[in-house]
A and B are shown apart, each in its own frame.
Chain A
Amino acid sequence: MEGILKQELLRLKETERSYVREVARLRNGSLQEKRIKGTPYLYLVSSKKSKLSYQYLGGLSAEELKKLKADIALRKKYQRLLKEVRQDIRRITKILHGKRRAV
């Protein structure tokens, strides 16, 4: 049983590293629409050194915008999974340490 847990821990740590790498590769921030005089304007909102930065996306083509949206959605999915993987790592580490102490 301990061997299986150790193996799963290794796999999860590997997965964690891969998620971290992929999250860093994908575009940071989220999309925000502002209405000025009734006209919608799309911005990419991201934080840099604890300051919010707004990047106007008016110059992007429909294709580029679609890709950006997909990237942001994927990054959020990866971040959620990364959080869950880290929870699993903590849980398994706790079980393994608990075992060692009991012996």
Chain B
Amino acid sequence: MAKDEQFEILLTVLRKFQEAGILADFMLIGSWCLQFYRYHFEHPEKLPAFRTLDVDFLIPHASRIKTEVNVPEILRKEGFVPTYNRSSGIVKYNHRELQVEFLVPELGKGGNRAREIKNLHIKAVALRYLNMLLDYPLLLNYERLLVRVPEPAVFALHKLIISERRLNKEKAQKDLETAVGLLEFLYTKPGEIKQIKSILRTVPRKWLQATLSVSGKHFPQLNETAMNL
């Protein structure tokens, strides 16, 4: 299957979510955001083009969703099959070309169990550091689809943090390359540098330390920016 066909499948899923009135409840995170950033920045050459099979949807306010929509049924109709992990309770939706997963920000102590979102008939995985993405949303109008993604600057900083926490070395390396590639591009845009500064000013101290410890080794320019806040 051609690469563009992969993107077409994702767009179909997004269209179905929009028709069902739930696209506004989701934020698309993960490497597929880069595809939308390319569109946002009018297809620059320097923007990294990594993308994986994983399509991650972050659900910011699961408890506020009042509409009942059978999300697994929507995905089934598009050829996705639910794949269950019995020990953790996590359900992923697999397709030959893609894998859809739902995430929620982890609150408090957290835990390994999946969180059920009854109105959407899905289970979402709770992960740390997702709140920072929610604080900087970017709404894009792509082919009449209103897609919510994190701002590129916060996306890059988040990738830096999680690259250190990944157990899978290959994924960690990919995260790091994406983050550094995106930061290199963003540093050519004064408006984005300003945004990076504003994010660095507001992130919790521990998160800032986590970010700077990685960037110190791989993108020292960010540490200089943090010094001159």
**Residues of A that sit less than 8 Å from B by CB:** 3-4, 7-8, 11-12, 14-15, 17-19, 21-22, 74, 77-78, 81, 84-85, 88
Contacts and interface: CB of A to CB of B under 8 A. Distances in A.
B83 to A, nearest CB: 5
17 contacts: A3-B170, A7-B168, A7-B170, A8-B53, A14-B94, A15-B81, A15-B94, A15-B95, A18-B81, A19-B81, A21-B81, A22-B81, A74-B76, A77-B79, A78-B79, A85-B96, A88-B96
Q: Does more than half of chain A's interface fall in helix, strand or loop, or is it mixed?
A: helix
Given A15-B94, A17-B83, A22-B81, 12 more contacts: A3-B169, A11-B53, A14-B83, A14-B94, A15-B83, A15-B95, A15-B96, A18-B83, A18-B94, A74-B77, A81-B96, A88-B96
Interface residues of B, number: 15
B79 A4 contact: no
Contact of A4 (B81, B83, B170): B170
A15 B77 CA distance: 16
Q: Does more than half of chain B's interface fall in helix, strand or loop, or is it mixed?
A: mixed
Contact of A11 (B79, B82, B94, B169): B94
Contacts of A88: 96
Contacts of A84: 1, 96
B119 interface: no
A18 B76 contact: no
B99 A78 contact: no
A3 B174 CA distance: 13
Contacts of A77: 79
B79 A81 contact: yes
